[in-house]
Amino acid sequence: MRIAVLVKDVPDLVEELELDESGRGLAVDDLSYVPSEWDDQALEEALLLKEASGAHVSAVALDTGDVDNMLYTALAKGADRAVKLVGDYDRTLPGRQRARILADYLAGAGYDLVMTGVQAVDDLDGQIAGLLGGMLGWPHASVVRDVAVDSGAVRFVQEYAGGRMAEFRSSTPLVLGVQAAKKPPRYVPIARIRQVSRSAALEEVEAGGSPSESLAAIERLYRPEAQGHATMWDGDAEQVAAALVALLDEQHLRS
């Protein structure tokens, strides 16, 4: 089984999200970036699959900025190959166009299974797994867990609201948007990543310029402060506890 895991980095939500002057986008240069948490899950699931049934795992990223470290990390964790799709684009490239570039690459790259995070915090114009499925005309599914190889086909579980799930079996090629790996993503020491970055090379694939896609335009990006914000209780833990107890009493909610 040849698996491609698509990885990307997204702004770290722990830090303040600064907006740019236009008010339509983020100040991309002022933010700190972290690997998208669901992509991490997808990579882990792929590596577990490799350990269980011997797949060949490639990590694939679009060169929109500092993605080298993310790819070396994937190699250090156990991926067999790292592919960087280079071209003239930056972090502001919309997801839809990213998907097109990825689809063009994946169409002829001979993978059986493409795994990626179920979503990312910035995929306003659609989740990558679905976009790729549509562009490539391959079967695909989102919110997936428990992926397994089953005599040339792939089995996986899809999650629905209320804790319901269903198990499917699909022929390949197949695209899966992974929700959670069987185990939390593994840690890889920084020294190991550096070692890999010295000894292994990233495979660079020329992927051309930004394709044209029909897009919905963002007119404004803002913090949702304005709406019904909670009444905030000030003070330390003691005062907050007191306010909460008063609320409980007022609502007759104390048992």
Partner 1 sequence: MTLRTMLMAATIVVALASVGVFSVRGRAIWTVLRRTRPVVRWDRIGERLLSVGTQVFGHRRMVRIPLSGILHYFIFSGFVVLLLDIVGTIGQVFRPGFGIGPWLSLAVDVWVALVLVGVLMAVYNRAVLRPARFHGSDERDAYMILVLIAIIVVGIVVHESFYPVVAASFFHVADPSLKSEFLGNGLYHVWQNLGWTTPTAGLVGYTVGYLMDIGVVFAFLAYLPYSKHFHILLAVPNIFFRNLRPIGELVESPPDETMAIRSFDDMRWKDVLDLFTCTECGRCQDVCPAYAAGQPLSPKMVILDLRDRLVSDWGRSEADAPPLAGGAVSREALWACTTCGACQQACPVFIEHVPKIAGLRAALLEDGDVDPAAQKVLVAWERQGNSFGQPARKRPEWAKGLEFPIRDARKEPVDWLWFVGDFAALDPRAREMTPVVGELLHRAGVDFGILYEAEVNSGNDALRIGEYGLFETLAQKNLKVLEKATFQRVFTTDPHSLNALKNEYRKFGFDKPVFHYTEAFLALIQEGRLPVSPVPIRATYHDPCYLGRWNHITEAPRELLRVLGVDLREMPRHGEQSFCCGAGGGRIWMDESGIVERPANQRIREALALPGITHFVVACPKDVSMFHAAATALGVDDRLRVTDVTELLAAAVGLRATPLPAAMAMGASE
Partner 2 sequence: MGPIIVVVEMQSDAMSPASAELLSRARQLARAQSTRVVALGFGEAARGALGSSGADDAFLAAGADAYVPTQAEAALRQVLQETAAGLVLLPNTTMGMDLGAATAAAEGRPMVAYATSLAAVEGGAFKATSQVYGGKLVAEVAVPEGSVVTVLPGSWPADEAVSGTTPVRDLVVAGESPMELVRTIEPDTGDVDITRADVLVSVGRGIQDPDNLELADELAEALGAVVSCSRPVVDAGWLPRARQVGKSGQTVKPKLYLALGISGAPEHLQGMKDSEIIVAINSDPTAPIFEVAHYGATCDILELMPILTERLGGAD
- By CB under 8 A, the residues from 134 to 153 that bind partner 1 are none
- Which residues in this chain contact ligand FAD in the complex, by CB under 6 A? 118-119, 143, 179, 238
Q: Are 181 and 146 in contact (CB under 8 A)?
A: no
Which span (13-21, 83-91, 137-145, 213-221) binds partner 1, by CB under 8 A? 13-21
| From partner 1, partner 2, ligand FAD, none, interface partner of 189 (C-beta below 5 to 8 A by class) | partner 1
Q: Are 98 and 128 in contact (CB under 8 A)?
A: yes
Site size for partner 1 (CB under 8 A): 19
Look at residue 78 and give its three-state secondary structure: coil
Among 16, 18, 66, 204, the residue binding partner 1 under the rule CB under 8 A is: 16
Q: From CA 195, how far away is CA 174, in angstroms rounded?
A: 33
| From ligand FAD, partner 2, partner 1, none, interface partner of 32 (C-beta below 5 to 8 A by class) | partner 1
| From partner 2, ligand FAD, partner 1, none, interface partner of 117 (C-beta below 5 to 8 A by class) | none
Look at residue 60 and give its three-state secondary structure: strand
Look at residue 146 and give its three-state secondary structure: strand
| From partner 2, partner 1, ligand FAD, none, interface partner of 8 (C-beta below 5 to 8 A by class) | none
Q: Are 148 and 52 in contact (CB under 8 A)?
A: yes
CB 219, min distance to partner 2, A: 5
- What angle, rounded to 10 degrees, do the helices at 68-77 and 190-199 form? 100
Q: From CA 229, how far away is CA 255, in angstroms rounded?
A: 28
Distance of CA 194 to the CA centre of its chain: 23
Cβ closest to partner 1, residue 16 vs residue 88: 16
| From ligand FAD, partner 1, partner 2, none, interface partner of 74 (C-beta below 5 to 8 A by class) | none
Positions 170 through 189 that interact with partner 1 (CB under 8 A): 184, 186-189
Cβ closest to ligand FAD, residue 16 vs residue 29: 16
Give the largest CA-CA distance in the chain: 66
CB 190, min distance to partner 1, A: 3
Q: From CA 38, how far away is CA 1, in angstroms rounded?
A: 22
| From partner 2, ligand FAD, partner 1, none, interface partner of 6 (C-beta below 5 to 8 A by class) | none
Residue type, 161: A
Token pair recorded at residue 149: 């190889």
Q: Which residues are near partner 1 by CB under 8 A?
A: 12, 14-16, 32, 34, 77, 184, 186-195, 237
